Amino acid sequence: MTDRFIAIIGGSGLYEIDGLENTDWVSVDTPWGAPSDAILTGTLEGLKLAFLPRHGRGHVLDPSSVPYRANIDALKRLGVTDVISMSACGSFREEMAPGDFVMVDQFIDRTVARARSFFGPGCVAHVSMAHPTCGPLTDSVAQAATQAGATVHRGGTYLAMEGPQFSTLAESNMYRDHWGADVIGMTNMPEAKLAREAELCYASVAMVTDYDCWHPDHDAVQVADIVRTLTGNADTARRTIAHLPALLNRQKTPCPQGCDRALDTALITAPDKRDPDLIARLDAVAGRVL
C-alpha cells in the first residue's frame, strides 16, 4: 500500500499555505521543463502534502505560460497521488456568488495555445475525460470546505478560456445562456487532462471572485475587484486545507472511479513502433504501463 500524498495547486491569491510540518521547498526537474516554482512539501497531522503556486510566487506566469505538463509531471515524480486545484473564477449563476466555492465536475475546454498532452507521435494515448474530476476526492474537499465555513455548490461546469483578456459580453452570454457553463477561468485546462493522463485523482475548487460581465447589476470584472475578493477566498481555502487531514485516509487505496488506472485502456501505439525518446520522457507519468 502506498502513502496518500495530496498536492494543492494554488491559483491567483493562493501563493503559499501555512501549518505544514517538516517543510521543504523542493526544485524538481522534469523532461517537460521547469514547473511554475519550487514545490513546498510537508505533512499536516501525518498527511503528506505538497503545495505548488500555479503562477509562481509573486504571480509571474500568465495562464498561457503556466508549464502545465512540467507541473503535473513534477507532482507525479514526487509521489503525489491526488491533486486539489484551488482557483479563482467568474460566475455565470446568480446563486454562485463572490466568496462561494463551486466543486467543479465538468469542463468546457476553449483553450487554444497550450501543450495539452504528454503523449504524441511515437506514443499515442487517448484517456477518457467523460468524468474529468474524481468524485470521492471532490466529496472530501467539499466536506472540508463546508467545515471551513464556505458556501459550497456541489457540481458545476467550468469553462476554461485562453485569456489573458476577460470575455466579451457576447461570449459571456453565450457561455452562460447557451453552453450551460456555470463558472469561468483560465487555468483548469489542460491541467485536468494532464492529471488524468498521469493517473492522478483531480478535484477542482472554483472560488468565485466576480460575475464576469453578464450581470446587469454588477460592473464588468476587473483585476482589482478580483483581488479584493481573493483575500477572503484564500483564507477560506487555507481553512479548507486544515480540515483535510481529518477526512482523508493516510493510505492510498484504489480509486473507485479508476483515476489511478486511466492508462490501462488508453495506449494504442504498437510496442515495437514506440519512440524511445518519448518513452523515456514518460517515465514518471506513464512508467506504470510502459
Ligand X SMILES: Nc1ncnc2[nH]cnc12
Kindly state the smallest distance separating residue 223's Cβ from ligand LNRAV4D5, in Å.
5
Q: 111 contacts which partner out of ligand LNRAV4D5, ligand X, none, CB within 5 to 8 A by kind?
A: none
CA angle 14, 19, 23 (to 5 degrees): 90
Query: Cα separation of 32 and 73, whole Å?
Result: 8
Query: Cα separation of 96 and 285, whole Å?
Result: 35
Binding-site ranges for ligand X (CB under 6 A) = 88-90, 161, 166, 184-186, 209-210, 212, 221, 226
E runs forming strands in the chain: 2-3, 5-10, 21-26, 39-44, 47-53, 82-91, 101-103, 106-109, 152-154, 157-160, 183-185, 201-210, 251-252
223 binds ligand LNRAV4D5 (CB under 6 A): yes
Kindly state the smallest distance separating residue 35's Cβ from ligand X, in Å.
21
Among residues 195, 9, 20, the alpha carbon closest in space to that of 116 is found at: 195
| All three cell numbers of 282 | 514518460
Among 54, 69, 114, 153, binds ligand LNRAV4D5 (CB under 6 A): 54
Chain position carrying cell 515495437: 272
Residue 89 or 255: the one with the smaller Cβ distance to ligand LNRAV4D5 is: 89
11 binds ligand LNRAV4D5 (CB under 6 A): yes
- Looking only at the bridges linking them, the beta strands covering 251-252 and 2-3 are antiparallel
52 binds ligand LNRAV4D5 (CB under 6 A): no
Kindly state the smallest distance separating residue 247's Cβ from ligand LNRAV4D5, in Å.
23
Tell me which residues are annotated as active site. Answer: 210, 212
| All three cell numbers of 240 | 479548507
157 is in an annotated binding site: no
Using CB under 6 A as the binding rule, the residues of this chain from 57 to 86 that contact ligand LNRAV4D5 are: 63
Cβ count near 161 (within 10 Å): 23
133 is in an annotated binding site: no
Cα distances (Å, whole numbers) of residue 176 to 70, 99, 182, 187, 215? 32, 19, 7, 19, 11
Q: Which stretch binds ligand LNRAV4D5 (CB under 6 A): 32-40, 41-49, 185-193, 270-278?
A: 185-193
Kindly state the smallest distance separating residue 55's Cβ from ligand LNRAV4D5, in Å.
6
Cβ count near 34 (within 10 Å): 14
Residues lying near ligand LNRAV4D5 in the complex (CB under 6 A): 11-12, 54-55, 63, 87-88, 163, 185-187, 223, 226
Q: Which residues are annotated as a binding site?
A: 12, 54-55, 87-88, 186-187, 210-212
Residues making up the annotated binding site for substrate are 186, 210-212
